[in-house]
Amino acid sequence: MDRYRSNDNIVWDCDYHVVFCPKYRRKVLVDGIGSRFEEIAHEVAEELDFEIREIKVMPDRVHMLVSVDPQFGIHRAVKRIKGRTSHDLRAEFPQLKRKLPTLWTNSYFVSTVGGATSEAVRQYIEDQRNA
């Protein structure tokens, strides 16, 4: 029962594997930008009451395992993470403004984790660092 979350009217266990990339898949998430991305993403998750269970930032992409209230929705969670991180990172790291017209592509990949255990997806995300 530990993995279930609830609010006033529902109980859920909705985990999503999310992947998104910088514009043109540029390798810009380096030199402290990736670690700052993680900090900001966790701040957004805390503010909006969803959970980032696993996160790996590579130079050209981000993988996350996210647990989101289905009433809030995965799209809103991803949109808020991408929006806040783009704004904050471009303000803190001016070189991002010079290299890219916008930080993130408009698209992202999302998959429910229903067919695989959360642990299997966590291991996959962890293994991405070596890919």
Going by C-beta distance under 8 Å and a sequence separation of 6 or more, which residues neighbour residue 84? 40, 43, 44
For residue 120, which amino acid is it? A
Q: Which has the closest alpha carbon to 38: 49, 27, 26, 52?
A: 52
Catalytic residues: 124
What is the distance between the alpha carbons of residues 125 and 114, in angstroms, rounded to a whole number?
A: 16
